[in-house]
Amino acid sequence: MQANENALTNHEVTVCLSGGAVLGPFNATWNKDSGGDVRELVKEYDAYLQGESQKRFKFFLHDTYTNTVHTLILNFSQVTGICDHVRLKQHSD
């Protein structure tokens, strides 16, 4: 199965915080042409865990199903984990 580069991917993002609090889950969609920061959030957090300084604090998660945007402002020093559950669209060949 080959993924279409322009196809939407449907994410469910949950952010775990120090002390046990949880933000989300947030529904978010992404495609090549439009779609918020869902992938950048995961990339930035991964870089932070590998020793890089946090460069961004504000991330926008676009939910095209409900036509809403979730704005997350995060200090990664207070984040213990991010779960990005991706539901891939199936297509028939």
Q: What was the pLDDT predicted at 29?
A: 84
DSSP for the chain? Answer: ----TT--EEEEEEEEEGGG-EEEEEEEEE-SSS-TTHHHHHHHHHHHHTTPPP---EEEEEETTTTEEEEEE--GGGEEEEEEEEEEPP---
Instruction: Residue 26: give the domain boundaries.
Output: 9-88
Domain count, the chain: 1
Chain-wide mean pLDDT for the chain? 86
1 inside domain: no
Q: pLDDT digit string (tens) for 48-91?
A: 999 999 999 999 998 888 889 999 999 999 999 999 998 776 66
pLDDT tens digits along 10-52? 889 999 999 999 999 999 887 666 667 888 999 999 999 999 9
Q: Domain holding 37: CATH number?
A: 2.30.30
